[in-house]
């Protein structure tokens, strides 16, 4: 019987500016994506119970590289550059967006996408673009509605239901799931772990 995957064992592996400089494309990866202020680094740190594993910054958009973290020899978590930068030159933004697209479209070991969004501002234009891309690729997506502690329970639950309804109306509910999450309150960790473990399961080898 295999030992359950432990996210507390995550360790920094490598930062890469482009897909070409990422580690060898083998094994299984799950990537975290979202707007610059969605709380990606905080979510990864909360998941792994390591306060400084993924760098956080008070200035959104500081994560300009593809940051990879190893869980085992062939399983990784990936922190992608945030999108929707407010105060960077257009040329730099275009380069980051291109690197992000190359990774998402060209990485064979990528098995799922955790798409983070502030629960107070869900499903912005770029979020829908990511969902459309994922649908075209048949890539499963789990929406993490972060900063749930910023809303009362009733409105937060209502927002979650509205997000699920919007996804269903677009015909994406077969590939897209959603949950609430709070790094501050450490809530939603177990549900996220369940999704990640299902995607990071040992690949089926054909006889």
Task: Output the pLDDT for position 144.
Answer: 98
Task: Output the pLDDT for position 205.
Answer: 42
- Residue spans per domain, the chain: 7-199
Cα distances (angstroms) measured from residue 159 to each of 61, 72, 102, 145, 162: 26, 35, 32, 9, 5
| Spatial separation of the C-alpha atoms in residues 144 and 187, rounded to whole Å | 11
pTM over 0.85: yes
Residues of the chain under the 70 pLDDT cut: 1-3, 56-63, 84-88, 202-207
Task: Output the pLDDT for position 206.
Answer: 40
Q: Would you say 45 and 183 are in contact if contact means Cβ atoms under 8 Å apart?
A: yes
Mean pLDDT of the chain: 88
Task: Output the pLDDT for position 3.
Answer: 66
pLDDT tens digits, 173-191? 999 999 999 999 999 999 9
Task: Output the pLDDT for position 37.
Answer: 83
Task: Please state which CATH class domain 7-199 belongs to.
Answer: alpha beta
Task: Output the pLDDT for position 155.
Answer: 97
Task: Output the pLDDT for position 85.
Answer: 57
Task: Output the pLDDT for position 35.
Answer: 87
């Amino acid at each position: 019987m295999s030992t359950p995957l432990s996210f507390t064992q995550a360790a920094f592996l490598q930062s890469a500016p482009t897909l070409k400089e990422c580690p060898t494309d083998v094994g299984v990866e799950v990537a975290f994506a979202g707007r610059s202020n969605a709380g990606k680094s905080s979510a990864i740190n909360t998941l792994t119970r390591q306060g400084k594993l993924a760098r956080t910054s008070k200035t959104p958009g500081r994560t300009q590289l593809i940051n990879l973290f190893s869980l085992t020899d062939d399983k990784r978590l990936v922190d992608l550059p945030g999108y929707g930068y407010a105060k960077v030159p257009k040329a730099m933004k275009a380069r980051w967006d291109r690197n992000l697209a190359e990774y998402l479209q060209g990485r064979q070991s990528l098995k799922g996408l955790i798409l983070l969004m502030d629960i107070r501002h869900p499903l912005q234009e770029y979020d829908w673009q990511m969902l459309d891309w994922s649908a075209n690729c048949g890539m499963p997506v789990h929406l993490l509605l972060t900063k749930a502690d910023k809303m009362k329970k009733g409105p937060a639950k209502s927002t979650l239901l509205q997000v699920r309804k919007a996804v269903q109306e677009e015909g994406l509910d077969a590939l897209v799931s959603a949950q609430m999450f709070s790094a501050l309150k450490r809530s939603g960790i177990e549900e996220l772990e369940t999704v990640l473990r299902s995607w990071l399961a040992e690949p089926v080898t054909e006889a």
